[in-house]
Amino acid sequence: MSIFDEPKVDCHNHVLDPARFAYAPDVGYRPAGPEIGTQVQHRAVMDAYGIRHALIVGPNSGYGFDNRCLLDTLAASGGRFKGVAVVPPDTDADTLRALRDQGVVGVAFNMALHGVAHYEPSRPLMRRLADLDMFVQVQVDQDQMVQLAPWVLESGARILIDHCGRPDPARGLGQAGFQAVLKLAQSGRATVKLSGMQKFSSQGWPFDDARPYVQALIEAYGLDHCLWASDWPFLRAPERVDIGPLLRWFEALLPDAADRHRLFWQTPVRLLGFDDRVHS
C-alpha cells in the first residue's frame, strides 16, 4: 500500500477563508495568496493524501479569537474533523463546554508568537480545560518550555506540544528547552506533534538537522504519544512545503508500516476521540 493510501489523521492544519469569514481587524498577520486554505480546498487536499480525519487549529493569524471559520468547518464535516480553538483567558466553563459540543477538543496557546508572560492570566483557563478533559495545546520556541512546563503540569490538563517544541538545531539535543519537552513525556499527560520542521530547521528541505530531534521525541514519548501533522497551508513558511514530500520523509524515518499505522492512525484516533469507522 502506498503511504498516500495509508489511513492518516493530520493533527495540525488550518482553514482560512477571508472571503466568507473576514479576518479580525486587530490581528498582526493576514495570510494571503497561497497561505489561504478554504474549507473546499482543505477537504480536497485531505482527500488527495488519504487523510481521513484532521485536527484543525484555529490560527492566531487572521482570526485571533474569532472561531467562526473553524466551527463552520467542523459542522460541515459530519464528525470527520475536530478542532482546537483560540479563546480569551477569561473564557468560562460554559463557553468551553459549548465549544467542546461542537467538536473542539482543546485551546491553543502560542507562546512562540506572544511570549510566555502573555499567558500568565490564562493559568486558570488551563485548569478549566483540565476539568473538561480538554487539551492545553502549546506552541513554544527554543527555551520557553522551561518556564511553561510547571504551569501546564500544575493545570492537570492533557497537553499537546506543537511542532516538536521548535528547538534550535544549532544548540544540540541538550538545550534546556528541548530537554524540558522531553521530560514532559514522563508525566503521561503530554503528546507531541512531529511536525513543523520548516519552522525550526536552519537547513531547509530535507530537514536533516531536524531528524535527530524527531527521533529523540519518538524515543522519549513512544509512538503512543506522538502525532503526525502537516501544518497545511504552511503559514509564514520560509520556502515551499508540500504534504507529499513530508509524508515521504516520515516513510523513510519509519520504514515499518506498523509503526506508521500507530503514528498516523491508531494514536490520534485514540487520543483525539475519532471514530475509526468513520471515513475509513
**pLDDT tens-digit series, residues 4-27:** 999 999 999 999 999 999 999 989
Please give the helix or strand (H or E) that residue 93 lies within, else none.
helix 93-101
Residue among 80, 23, 53 at smallest CA distance from 227: 53
Residue 5 near residue 52, CB atoms below 8 Å: no
Sheet with 81-85, strands from edge to edge, namely 8-13, 51-57, 81-85, 104-110, 135-139, 158-161, 190-194, 226-228
Q: pLDDT at residue 278 above 60?
A: no
Mapping DSSP to helix (H, G, I), strand (E, B) and coil, where does residue 48 land? helix
**CA 178/CA 206 separation, integer angstroms:** 21
Beta strand segments in 173-268, E: 190-194, 226-228
DSSP state of 263: I
| CATH tag, 8-272 | 3.20.20.140
pLDDT for 66-110, tens place per residue? 999 999 999 999 999 999 999 999 999 999 999 999 999 999 999
Distant-in-sequence, close-in-space partners of 143: CB < 8 Å, separation ≥ 6: 175, 176, 177, 180
The b-or-e profile of 84-108 (16+ CB within 10 A means b, else e) is bbbbeeebeeeebeebbeebbbbbb
What pLDDT, on the 0 to 100 scale, is given for residue 277? 66
Q: Would you kindly state where each structural domain of the chain is located, as residue ranges?
A: 8-272
pTM (two decimals): 0.96
**280 pLDDT higher than 80:** no
